[in-house]
């Protein structure tokens, strides 16, 4: 029973070939495709409005120098958003529950923001490791603490996204299993559990959207520190 709860986080395979790459590429089919017309249908209009809203929210805390990152950040936001939401459907697999994938997204982008700061303004970027006015005896300790906090940023990004989505999927599976078990024994309790499951599903939809936004927003804030 314990293993069956965690089987949903194992990458599906077909003839020994992992299908995680296919599950990552499938959400891109839902994005608008280039066309000679500006607006083809209402669904395309809704997608373009959502893209405009996301881009505006992500670019608000950034200076004009950071606006060149708009395509990267918006694309990452849409990718995470679609993967998280599609992972809530039955008989699907959520790649963002894998720490390896989240770290593969977080580490290169965090490193890019760090190298951007070291290239454009090395003094200011290194100055973040030592707050102004620090007493001399505390300088070595503070430099070590700030360096550690800087290096664990990509790990925090990956673990946050993985932990929130994994916990939500486990809760949904536990409550749905309890609902199915209680139905022939205590129908009234099973109905109440079904209502809780419905509310939890709505909460998980919100968590899926919020976690995608938080992931990209933190990257944009790290970028703002280095430009």
Number of domains in the chain: 1
Decide if pLDDT at 53 tops 80: yes
How much of the chain, in percent, has pLDDT values that exceed 70? Answer: 83
Across the chain, mean pLDDT equals 82
Domain that holds residue 166: 24-225
6 occurs within a structural domain: no
Decide if pLDDT at 94 tops 70: yes
**Cα-based distances in Å from 219 to 29, 85, 97, 108:** 25, 21, 19, 11
pLDDT for residue 120: 83
4 occurs within a structural domain: no
2 occurs within a structural domain: no
How much of the chain, in percent, has pLDDT values that exceed 90? Answer: 18
141 occurs within a structural domain: yes
Query: Comparing C-alpha atoms, which of 77, 122, 70 is closest to residue 226?
Result: 122
The whole-angstrom separation of Cα 192 and Cα 189 is 5
138 occurs within a structural domain: yes
Decide if pLDDT at 36 tops 70: no
115 occurs within a structural domain: yes
49 occurs within a structural domain: yes
pLDDT for residue 31: 67
The whole-angstrom separation of Cα 34 and Cα 86 is 23
Please give the model's pTM, rounded to 2 decimal places. Answer: 0.81
* Banded model confidence at residue 8, pLDDT cuts 50, 70, 90: low
């Amino acid at each position: 029973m314990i293993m069956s709860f965690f089987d949903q986080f194992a990458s599906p395979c077909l003839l020994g070939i992992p299908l995680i790459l296919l599950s990552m590429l499938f959400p891109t089919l839902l994005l608008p495709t280039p066309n000679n017309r500006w607006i083809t249908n209402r669904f395309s209009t809704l997608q373009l409005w959502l893209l405009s809203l996301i881009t505006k929210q992500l670019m608000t805390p950034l200076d004009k120098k950071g606006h060149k990152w708009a395509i990267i950040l918006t694309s990452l936001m849409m990718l995470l958003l679609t993967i998280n939401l599609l992972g809530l459907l039955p008989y699907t697999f959520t790649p963002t529950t894998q720490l390896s994938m989240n770290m593969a997204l977080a580490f290169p982008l965090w490193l890019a923001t760090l190298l951007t700061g070291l290239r454009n303004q090395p003094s200011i970027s290194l100055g973040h490791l030592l707050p102004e006015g620090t007493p001399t005896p505390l300088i070595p300790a503070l430099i070590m603490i700030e360096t550690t906090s800087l290096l664990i940023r990509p790990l925090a990004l990956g673990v946050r996204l993985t932990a929130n989505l994994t916990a939500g999927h486990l809760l949904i599976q536990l409550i749905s299993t309890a609902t199915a078990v209680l139905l022939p024994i205590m129908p009234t309790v099973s109905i109440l559990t079904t209502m809780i499951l419905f509310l939890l599903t709505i909460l998980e939809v919100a968590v899926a959207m919020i976690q995608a936004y938080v992931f990209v927003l933190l990257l944009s804030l790290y970028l703002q520190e280095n430009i």
